[in-house]
Structure 1
Amino acid sequence: MHAQPKLKVTFKNPFKSVGLKLFIIFFVSSIVFVLGIGLYSYSQSKTIIKEQSSEANYQTMVQAREKLDLIFSKYEDLSMQLLMSKELQENLNISISSGESDYNKFSASKKVSDILQQFSVTNASISGISLIPMKGDTHIESTNGTGANVEEIRKKDWFIDALKANGRTVYIPTQTGRLIGGSQEQTFGMARQLKDVLSGRTSHVLLIELKVSEIGKNLTSINLGDGSDLLLLGLDNQVVYSQKPELITQKSALVLPEAQEANQGASATVTNETGKDFLVSYSPLAASGWKLVSEVPVKKLVEKASYIFNITIISAVIATIVAALVGLWVVGMVGRPLNHLRNLMNQGANGNLAVRTKIKTEDEIGQLSRGFNEMMDNITSLVQHTSQSASDVLHTASELSDASKKTAISAREIAVATEEIANGASNLAVEAERGNDLTITIGTNMSKVIESNMEMGTAASEVERVSEQGISHMNTLTEKTSLTEEMVRSLVQKVNALKESTNSIRKILDVLSNMTKQTNILSLNATIEASRAGAAGKGFMVVADEIRKLADQSRQSISIVGEITDKISGEIVETVDVLSTAYPIFQEQILSVREANEIFWTVQGQMGGFIQQLDQTTDSIQQLDQSQATLAEAMSNVSAVAEEASATSEEVASLSNEQLSVSSNLIDLSNKLEEVSTRLKETLSRFTL
């Protein structure tokens, strides 16, 4: 036995290893896929939650605003009842008249207080009702006491605004304590000039103080969640009401989103001064112009969506662990056997023909291992056969020295050719096995490409389905917008009819005014005739005087009704103008909805074409997969040809031995044959069997 040659160890770059490359590709693709899907789902869920919450909060504000408008309209009606109370006007005029006695003034003032107290007691939300004189040093008539200083009240901003409003209602934001009388109860109020319906003179300002707690009672059913707030903001952003009592009467720093139309609300995400995002929705009150505002933290809205983010992180961690384990398994299954075969080939190249692999799997690596063992067996048989032949030639060299010398050159050339053929066959077998492995790898990658293409087709089908849903929603929106347009058109027609009715009322009032003038003239003529009649016409004179007074009162009432009719007519004209402006906007909205519907149809058509292209791509990839199978079969044929070439080389070696047997007759060449045999033994000595 010869000494085993030393194994040369070569250190290579680990990143050139097939096993490590497979591990990195599998690991990175798994993590990227899990994180991508999870983060996309998290982002989409946040967006959907914010959009739905924005619409829901805005609708809630609109409903709550309508409820507050109804309550405020009741307060408006109450002030109008006080304004039209003839008893209140008469006693109020007596209390400030300089020609009346003190007793009459006191009695009249007492009746005024009783009337105010009666209105205040009938409504629990009223904290107090007061009448403040516009001039003079008369006292304040109030249900909360009369200890307030008149001059100080007249300097208040709300009092000055009430004078400028010329009879319209002025709303007063929440104050700490009552406006009149003093108290710690928080109140807000409404003020307007009190006009005499007969004379048209204004002498007092009516102030109705309302409890802030009543607003809270009407808004208790609205729960926006933890950290949220429901506010009622005045015209200067002063907090009239808040679910957080400490904010009432404070200035709000909240920035409201801009509305698309005047006197309309809006809903949007706003960042406050602390950097936190809030979903802000508001709707303005019709009478006061105050804004009902909801403030909801975005963090609370998307708190449920963070569950998806947490699941994504957990899934990514699990996917990392699973990908690492699977990657290590792949490395162990592919990389380790390949490294083992590489080391055995290095040992075989250094002369150790006894090396064999023990891998017995049924996959491609097992086939490669069996091919390696067969190759080493063939090479060993070849070396043993050559060594035996050399021994036989050396044994008979003495008898065939002359013939051996003559055939030495031919034998040496045949041996060299045989070795080259054997080496070429072995290299061809190795390259064939390597090509077969590459073909199998290509087939695996082609399968993955086909699966990815099918997933893209599924996703495209889902997009097409969503486009169909969008088209359905847009059709529904188009129908509802058309109904809204018809309702606006009908409302315009009804308002025009109301305008014509108002003009008819005006004509009737003109007729009544003429009748009143005629009645007044008849009363005057009757009085003249009664005075001519003397004592006999006194009774008729009293009747004529009453008729004249009745005519005066009718003239004043007709004048007041005429003013109210003019005001109604003006408001009807303004309503017609607003509806005329809104009608083209509804038509533009219908046009925009139809254009959006066409866009959805276009998207659906393009997605259908994209799906067809994906189907064509899938067919092409399947054809390529079939071509790859054909290539694998061709590589197997190449391997078979290599084995046949190896068998042919053995036949050539056999022919060489036959030629050596023929050389027995060439005795004169035996000396050279002996030398060749000696060199052949030296060459074969480096192989370990």
Structure 2
Amino acid sequence: MSASISKIGKALLQKRKSIGVQLFGIVFVSIILIVSVLGFNSYGKSKKIIRDKVSVASQQTLQQSTDKLDFLLSTYAGLTRQFMVDTSLRELLVAVSAKDISVPDKRAAQDKITDRMNSMISAEPNILTIRIIPKDLNINNALSTTGASALLIEGPSEAWLKKMMDAKGNVVFVPMMNKGLFGYSTEPSLTVGRLLKNLKNPEAEYLLLIELRSKLLSDAFANFKLGDTGQMMVVTEDNKIVYAASPELIDTTPPPLGKNMLVLNHTSETTGWKMIGSVPLNELERDSKTILSLTVWMIIAAAVAALLIGYVLIRIIGKPLEKLCVLMEKGENGDLSVRMDYRGQNEIARLSRNFNRMMEQIASIVGRTNESAQQLVRSAKELKAVSLETSSTAGDIASVTTQIAQGAASLAAEAERGIIQTETIGGKMRAATDTNGRLESTAGRVQAVSDQGSAYMRELIGKTEATEQLSRSLVERVSKLKESAGSIYTILNMMNEISKQTNILSLNASIEAARAGASGKSFAVVAEEIRRLAVQSKESIGVVHTITDVIQQEIDATVVDLGSVSPVLAQQNAAVLEAAEIFGGVKSEMNLFVQELAVSTESIIELDSSQKVLVESIGTVSAVSEESAASSEEVARMTTDQLAVSNKLVDLSNQLESLSERLIEQLDVFGGNK
């Protein structure tokens, strides 16, 4: 079997470019891919289903175990409740805590309490000890069952007892401790405690502690199992182990669980502790590995089946196609007698029959083409002879026509040069005409500017005279203003005298009012107001006097400036008159220049007209020469083209003869002439 597979593999490598090998590759890869995807997908799905099922079952088991733990601890919590509601026990505790009780009576009450606790231990083998401790934690007044260990309240035990007192009568569960709550127990114990409240006698309140053996939890979880190697532990809220399969883990921190573990947990409603279960994932996936092994074997079987299918495809498809390719290569090399012998009704059989018919038709076509090629060779030889004669005649005609064209071209060239010289002269005359025109235009603009300047000068003369008149008028007005300022000084002096007289009058009135006594007080007030008004008038007159002085100074400065402006205006008026005379002279000279320029322009225009007539005459001669040269050149070109066509026809005849000979040689390869 392995030898045949090896043989198939070698054949596939040797013919890896064959279509049969390619089909085999497609089938092989498709089968392996489909089987692999289905197998590994089934393995993954089964692994997930098994994990989910085990997870659900383990979670249910964990929940049942938690419910069992809650039931057990609730039983002992109910036992503490019986102590709390027992009226006879309450009376005995009141008697023990009474201060006026005799020692024998106190001892008798303590014995009764101890006997009741001992009888309860006898009925419950899972109870290790029962203790009743005063609320003030005085160990001398504590009561315990027979065989109880020593009592020492300190550290953790004291904290738990205070927590019970803070619970106000609610039950408190103390987690498992290796040496008990007080550190002297010979075996690990779990403690259930609560405060026995007494509202009538608060001094008779005691703490009831029931220590339970670790065997209680061991027996409860003996049948609990998570897989073969799964573990379960009970952990408190502060992350301390209450129960574990290994006793050395009790009262320690749980070890970290690995990533490859299925971890489940459930919280106890009674204690608040967590039941944690863990199972290795390898154990859960152990059964699913059978599916993985089966998948691998299926892939191997599919690979073998794919190899066999590929070999069959190569035999059915590859071999016939390979044979057909070999026959096609022989036909390509000239052997048209090859035929494909393949029988059947499939596509390859149809291809074989079509190949045979195609080869027969090609052989027939090659025979007919060979005969046509022979006739083509004979026609090509005749065409070559005629082309040689035509080429010789066309060469002679082209030579003569070329000489005629050269003479006509020389004549046209000379006429062209005459036209160029004449056009050059005309161009220069037109340039002179344009220059005269521009000069005439410029002269016109200068004349217009000159006229405008003369008008502006006349207007400036008028404005200068008006300015001079205004300046004289302004001098006269300033002089009058200066006289008015002098009048203001006179008025101010009069007002100053009036102010002095008013002041003197107010002083006299004040003196007379003082002489008149009380009857002259009103007159004194009026005199004072008159005096104050006189002072204000004097101050106002001083301010006005100051302003008038400033005005007088400005007027004097203005008179001086106006006096200096008048000579300047007179000089400006004289300069403007002189500029007006100059502009008038320029205008006269420019009129003469424009007249002379117009006469020159008319002469140039007449000369340009004569030159145009000369150019037209020479142009006519040149046109006739050019037409003659063009006709000669056209004849020469046509003759040259005819010669080129004749030469090309000779070349084509040679090529046709060569192609005919090669066609015959190629047809001889296919055996068409046999």
When normalised by structure 2's length, the TM-score is 0.49
When normalised by structure 1's length, the TM-score is 0.48
Q: Which has the larger radius of gyration?
A: 2
